[in-house]
Chains A and B, each alone.
Chain A
Amino acid sequence: MALPSKKRGRMGILGVYLRKLYTLFRGEVLVLPSRIVVFLFFVVLLFLPVVTQDPYLLRILILTSIFAILAASWDLLSGYTGQMNFGHALFFGVGAYSSALLNLYVHIPPYGSIPLGGLAAVLAGLIIGIPCLRLRGTYLALTTLAFPIILMGIVFAIPGITGGELGVSGLSRLSSSRLYDYYITVVLMLGLCTIMWKITDSKTGIIFHAIREDELAVRTAGINTTRYKLLAFSLSGFFAGISGGLYAHFMRIAGPSTLEVSLSFTVVIWAVFGGIVTIYGPIGAVFILFPLLEFLRFWPEFRMLMFAVIILLILLYMPDGFFPWVRDKIEKECPRCKVRNVATRKTCRICTAPLD
């Protein structure tokens, strides 16, 4: 469709660029329902404040985003590398306490204390990663369970610094208004999770995945699995530590509740519910389950019970996770070129092989 020469001259480069973008969009994003969903997810989260600025809703979404980073970081470690980490609260707590202490005693503002909290969590990751190198399977899972508990004991043993069960309070705010808080956390979440997604798609990610499948084979291929495992612990720790720091500054208090066993379990539940080895699975799971749990507060007696029952049902019918199950229902893989297509198509969109 050619525009009259006068108009084309004026729109010129911008028009060409926009048209390219549109073609790209139509060709890459609109082709698959899962990509449409991700796109909508980004759009809705970023443009929600245009529709409503209800502080309660924003609060829920902020907390959800923080926990989404946490869940995705768990998947990076335990899903991809197969090192089942039942003590993920350790990273969260270390991140929260570190940024809190740095903020309160050294007066570092949030944009400094949070990354530093993340680095502290990396250190924690290395400290626990090293003993865990020789452990496998259930042993690893149960050992990782122990670490946050030990740290909690230490927190209670030095109440002068950590505030014991009262935690560290009086922290600076994340930003000056709820709206800015919202954008900071959401943009950070979208950014960090995209980075995590990119990591899993890279060479490092493939090695992680391979370590999960068969570590011995990876070692015989000449790859130093120890280094990669420690890398996984560190990366996972970094992102989880950031989410801990965000939490501390948003709630303005960092307490022993950030190290609880129930938090570790909840992270695992989210991730397995959403589908491990996906990154988007845990994120989606948090976005479904956390608001659901909050929504269920209208039936306070049955809240956790319904939550537990929902989990059990999902596990029965979708043991691989909710999102992989949904994705399998709406998409099919082409037998020839292995590219995904919408389930309603009869032939592959790229190689035109018949799908069935």
Chain B
Amino acid sequence: MILDIIISGLISGSVYALLAIGFSLIYGAARIVNLAHTAFYMVASYCIYYATHKMGIHPVLAMLAAIILVTLIGLVCYQLFINPIREHEAAVLIATIAIAMAMQEVMLLIFTGDFLSVPALVKGYLKIFGVKIAYQQLLTIGAALLILAGVWAVLMKTRLGLAIRSTAQDREVANLMGMNESRVAMITMGISVGLAAFAGAVVVPLTIVNPHMWMHPLIIMLAVVVLGGLGSLKGSFAGAYILGFTEALVVFLIPFGAFLKGSVALSVMILVLLIRPEGLFGIAFEEER
């Protein structure tokens, strides 16, 4: 039982971590609450579905194609709709919701509301201590750790990472220092959307593809990010696993109430916020140092 909870928690936690990292990144760097983040994840899933089922392309190639395509779409959306109104925070928020809605509708138009699925990258399962785990789920855990390491490396060790961190700290001063702040924001947006697409590629074989699949992960992802502290990567990572384990606990301890796992996770988030209104790890990237 304990083992089930641990493994189940690790798996859900990794899924949320993958989504939350991209979201945190763009919030930290450009203060944009991108509510369309999971919608990009959805578009990537559909691309992979189309490529594997209708065009017969190998899943890994489909993944790469989807990531590139969705990143491009994300950048275009950003340039056209978000960049011009970056000064008005409320408007940006609504714009991202509208983009998410638009993408949902386009998917509904092209693929209709039927439930679809995507083949697993690695089929089969293995038994650890009597618990069956699908390889795809292990892949998800591995991918989450890999991505976190990758993002951390980029942020700490590269010049681009430095630029992102400085714009996160203080936009105007970064501009004064000669960094092209809007370009940095755009690149961060690209990375963020790319991460969402990557999350889609890795996670989607475990889930059902349909035009409304972006809503539920959005809520949990927001809870994760708020719990961990907006803008803090470490916080998002921690928050993801905390909420993942909470959900696993609910499902295992209260099988009758398995549907309540979302509500319980959100309640946990509210409780933490009552005690610490900035989330577990505070706001800006300075914490990362």
Task: Say yes or no: A145-B222 contact (C-beta < 8 A), given A272-B90, A308-B101, A312-B81.
Answer: yes
Cross-chain contact of A305 among B105, B225, B257 (Cβ < 8 A): B105
B226 A139 Cβ-Cβ under 8 A:
yes
Residues of B within 8 A of A (CB): 27, 33, 81, 84-85, 87-88, 90-91, 93-95, 97-99, 101-102, 104-106, 108-109, 215, 219, 222-223, 225-226, 230, 257, 259-260, 262-264, 266-267, 269-270, 273-274, 277-279
CA distance A301 to B102 in the complex (A): 12
B226 A143 Cβ-Cβ under 8 A:
yes
Q: Please give the distance in Å from A330's CB to the nearest CB on chain B.
A: 22
Task: Say yes or no: A143-B269 contact (C-beta < 8 A), given A149-B219, A307-B101.
Answer: yes
B260 A157 Cβ-Cβ under 8 A:
yes
CA distance A311 to B105 in the complex (A): 14
**How many pairs, one residue from A and one from B, have CB atoms within 8 Å of each other in the complex?**
116
Interface residues of A in 292-309 (CB under 8 A from B): 301-305, 307-309
A305 B215 Cβ-Cβ under 8 A:
no
Most chain B beta carbons < 10 A, residue from A141, A150, A312: A312
B266 A150 Cβ-Cβ under 8 A:
yes
A276 at the interface (CB under 8 A from B): yes
Q: Please give the distance in Å from A278's CB to the nearest CB on chain B.
A: 13
Task: Say yes or no: A157-B257 contact (C-beta < 8 A), given A139-B230, A146-B269, A261-B219.
Answer: yes
CA distance A302 to B102 in the complex (A): 10
What are the residues of chain A within 8 A of B226 when measuring CB–CB? 138-139, 142-143
What are the residues of chain B within 8 A of A1 when measuring CB–CB? none
What are the residues of chain A within 8 A of B219 when measuring CB–CB? 145-146, 149, 261
What are the residues of chain B within 8 A of A156 when measuring CB–CB? 259-260
CA distance A81 to B65 in the complex (A): 46
User: 12 A-B contacts, Cβ less than 8 Å apart?
Assistant: A131-B270, A142-B225, A143-B226, A143-B270, A143-B273, A150-B267, A150-B270, A273-B94, A301-B108, A312-B95, A315-B95, A316-B84
Residues of A within 8 A of B (CB): 84, 131, 134-136, 138-139, 141-143, 145-146, 149-150, 152-154, 156-157, 261-262, 265, 268-269, 272-273, 276, 301-305, 307-309, 311-312, 315-316, 319-320
Residue of A nearest to B85 (CB): A319
Task: Say yes or no: A315-B91 contact (C-beta < 8 A), given A142-B223, A269-B98.
Answer: yes
Cross-chain contact of B260 among A134, A136, A146, A153 (Cβ < 8 A): A153
What are the residues of chain B within 8 A of A149 when measuring CB–CB? 219, 262-263, 266
What are the residues of chain A within 8 A of B225 when measuring CB–CB? 142
Kindly list 8 other residue pairs between chains A and B, CB separation below 8 angstroms, not including A138-B33, A311-B95: A131-B274, A136-B277, A149-B219, A150-B263, A153-B260, A272-B94, A302-B109, A316-B85
Q: Please give the distance in Å from B104's CB to the nearest CB on chain A.
A: 8
A153 B259 Cβ-Cβ under 8 A:
yes
CA distance A320 to B91 in the complex (A): 8
B223 A146 Cβ-Cβ under 8 A:
yes
CA distance A304 to B109 in the complex (A): 10
Residue of A nearest to B212 (CB): A262
- A-side interface mostly: helix
B273 A131 Cβ-Cβ under 8 A:
yes
CA distance A156 to B260 in the complex (A): 9
CA distance A26 to B33 in the complex (A): 47
Task: Say yes or no: A154-B277 contact (C-beta < 8 A), given A269-B98, A305-B106.
Answer: no
B105 A308 Cβ-Cβ under 8 A:
yes
Task: Say yes or no: A139-B98 contact (C-beta < 8 A), given A145-B219, A149-B219, A320-B88.
Answer: no
CA distance A261 to B266 in the complex (A): 14
What are the residues of chain A within 8 A of B84 when measuring CB–CB? 316
Cross-chain contact of A153 among B106, B215, B262, B269 (Cβ < 8 A): B262
What are the residues of chain B within 8 A of A145 when measuring CB–CB? 219, 222
CA distance A309 to B103 in the complex (A): 10
Q: Please give the distance in Å from B272's CB to the nearest CB on chain A.
A: 10
Q: Please give the distance in Å from B33's CB to the nearest CB on chain A.
A: 6
Residue of A nearest to B33 (CB): A138
What are the residues of chain B within 8 A of A304 when measuring CB–CB? 101, 104-105, 108
Q: Please give the distance in Å from B58's CB to the nearest CB on chain A.
A: 32
A261 B215 Cβ-Cβ under 8 A:
yes
CA distance A338 to B146 in the complex (A): 60
A315 B85 Cβ-Cβ under 8 A:
yes
Q: Please give the distance in Å from A272's CB to the nearest CB on chain B.
A: 5
A312 B99 Cβ-Cβ under 8 A:
yes
Q: Please give the distance in Å from A325's CB to the nearest CB on chain B.
A: 12
What are the residues of chain A within 8 A of B85 when measuring CB–CB? 315-316, 319
CA distance A305 to B90 in the complex (A): 21
A315 B97 Cβ-Cβ under 8 A:
no
Task: Say yes or no: A84-B90 contact (C-beta < 8 A), given A139-B230, A312-B99, A315-B98.
Answer: yes
A311 B277 Cβ-Cβ under 8 A:
no
CA distance A135 to B273 in the complex (A): 8
CA distance A319 to B87 in the complex (A): 9
What are the residues of chain A within 8 A of B269 when measuring CB–CB? 143, 146
B97 A139 Cβ-Cβ under 8 A:
no
CA distance A272 to B97 in the complex (A): 12
What are the residues of chain A within 8 A of B93 when measuring CB–CB? 141, 268, 272
A146 B109 Cβ-Cβ under 8 A:
no
Residue of B nearest to A276 (CB): B90
Cross-chain contact of B278 among A139, A150, A157, A316 (Cβ < 8 A): A139
Cross-chain contact of B94 among A131, A302, A307, A311 (Cβ < 8 A): A311
Q: Please give the distance in Å from A282's CB to the nearest CB on chain B.
A: 13
CA distance A150 to B198 in the complex (A): 30
